[in-house]
Amino acid sequence: MSATRAIEQGPPADPAPQRVWYTSYGSNMLLDRLACYLTGGRPAGGTRAYPGCRDRSLPAASIPVELPGVMYFATRSPVWGGGRAFYDPDAEGRVLARAHLVSASQFADIAAQEMYREPGTDLDLSEVLTRGRVTLGDGRYETLVCAGQVDGLPLLTFTAPWRVDDVLSTVPSAAYLRHLASGLLEAGAWDTDAVAAYVASRPGAHPHWSEQAVRELLAP
């Protein structure tokens, strides 16, 4: 098993980095799923095709990390037909995640696709790198979060502007959970039992998904 990488706090030295760690806590932890955002295509079990990024390169590296906060399932995904993952960085807990090393333009294009916008416009990251958080809109995945840095490069993700207790939880679909749990397992830092226990305990999944049910999703 590989170890999770230590996260350094504070803003990175470079206010306009060319590379960033796109940090996923949901289905994009799985490289096959992330590839649909990078190169274009429709993920297995999903209903939406993605245009892809301007730069279609795969991540230069992917590392397991643990973020402070809580991952939970809420709203309803038209792609998966159930709840989708969100991140509350202010809640007490830990979030198992996977950081992918991509270009700043790729991160901007991934974020645009998550926001149902056309990719192709770079993001000004100066504010989120300085303040740690910036809200670009009131929709889901329109709040950027910098969770620290690894190797001098920022860990960037996106979530909703609301808190975990401000929204009703929603049960995630089997296809979505399979991608999410498989991505955690693929990261190499957690075994099947640890992944199943974590996923089954998340708000929205609990109590509808048991640890055994999540293990069965991961069965070959």
pLDDT band at 140 (very low <50, low <70, confident <90, very high): confident
Instruction: Choose between 25 and 2: higher pLDDT.
Output: 25
DSSP three-state, residue 26: coil
Answer whether 216's CB lies under 8 Å from 199's CB.
no
What lies within 8 Å, CB to CB, of 7 at 6+ separation is: 65, 66, 67, 147, 148, 149, 150, 155
Gap between the Cα atoms of 68 and 196, Å rounded: 19
Gap between the Cα atoms of 113 and 201, Å rounded: 28
pLDDT at 116 over 80: yes
Which residues does residue 198 pair with via DSSP β-bridges, in sequence order? none
| Token couple for 161 | 């502007």
| Token couple for 38 | 């990078």
Task: Indicate the helix (H) or strand (E) that contains 55.
Answer: none
pLDDT at 120 over 80: yes
Average pLDDT over the chain, rounded to an integer: 94
DSSP structural state of residue 165? G
- Structural domains in the chain? 19-218 (3.10.490.10)
DSSP structural state of residue 50? B
Indicate the pairing of strand 19-24 with strand 133-135: unpaired
Sign, CA dihedral 109-160-66-82, equals negative
The whole-number pLDDT of residue 142 equals 93
| Token couple for 93 | 């807990």
| Percent residues over pLDDT 70 in the chain | 99
The whole-number pLDDT of residue 46 equals 67
Mind listing the pLDDT tens digit for each residue in 13-70?
A: 888 999 999 999 999 999 999 999 999 988 776 667 889 999 999 999 999 999 999 9
Answer whether 197's CB lies under 8 Å from 215's CB.
no
The whole-number pLDDT of residue 2 equals 84
Answer whether 8's CB lies under 8 Å from 149's CB.
yes
Mind listing the pLDDT tens digit for each residue in 187-200?
A: 999 999 999 999 99
The whole-number pLDDT of residue 47 equals 67
